[in-house]
């Protein structure tokens, strides 16, 4: 721990000597290490990169990119959901009209067709029923008497 305190103290003393007491020596050192000094003075250009990417890139120049993203991704998702809803509705209407309603219509048609012969016999007139009973008895007796 004493070593780290000594190194920190040495750094403070050197900074005091170069930047407050002997400014010309600091300028000579900066000139001899120009690229390193410029990079450190500009804090590794983090602010410039941040401004270029986030400030200008997204707000100013990136407006077109964000508009394209909105049109293709966001609006595409909304329009895709609308298309899928319409497709599902169309399939549902077709299924209901031709399969469900068709099955009901087929059942009613079958009952109507199979009931036609019975409707011919059931007239609602008592005379017709009496005649049918008489004809049935004649056929029944004829069958047993002729055997």
Q: Residue 121 — φ and ψ, nearest 5°?
A: -80, -30
Range of the domain at 17: 1-41
CA-to-CA dists, residue 48 to 25, 45, 54, 56, angstroms: 29, 5, 10, 10
Per-position pLDDT tens, the chain of length 147: 999 999 999 999 988 988 888 888 878 888 888 888 888 888 899 998 888 887 776 776 667 777 888 899 999 999 999 999 999 999 999 999 999 999 999 999 999 999 988 888 788 889 988 998 999 999 999 999 988
* 133, 122 Cβ separation under 8 angstroms: no
pLDDT of residue 63: 75
pLDDT of residue 83: 97
82 and 61 fall within a common domain: yes
Q: Which residue has the tokens 């009209």?
A: 97
* 31, 41 Cβ separation under 8 angstroms: no
Give the global pTM.
Answer: 0.42
11 and 64 fall within a common domain: no
72 and 131 fall within a common domain: yes
Q: How many domains does the chain have?
A: 2
pLDDT of residue 61: 66
């Amino acid at each position: 721990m004493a070593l780290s305190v000594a190194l920190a103290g040495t750094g403070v003393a050197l900074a005091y000597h170069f930047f407050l007491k002997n400014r010309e020596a600091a300028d000579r050192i900066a000139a001899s290490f120009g690229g390193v000094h410029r990079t450190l003075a500009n804090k590794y250009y983090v602010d410039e990169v941040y401004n270029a990417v986030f400030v200008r890139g997204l707000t100013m120049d990136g407006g077109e990119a964000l508009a394209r993203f909105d049109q293709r991704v966001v609006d595409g998702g909304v329009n895709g959901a609308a298309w899928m809803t319409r497709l599902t509705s169309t399939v549902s209407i077709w299924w209901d009209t031709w399969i469900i309603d068709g099955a009901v219509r087929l059942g009613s048609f079958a009952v109507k067709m199979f009931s036609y012969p019975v409707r011919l016999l059931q007239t609602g007139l008592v005379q017709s029923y009496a005649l049918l009973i008489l004809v049935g008895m004649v056929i029944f007796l004829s069958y047993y008497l002729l055997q």
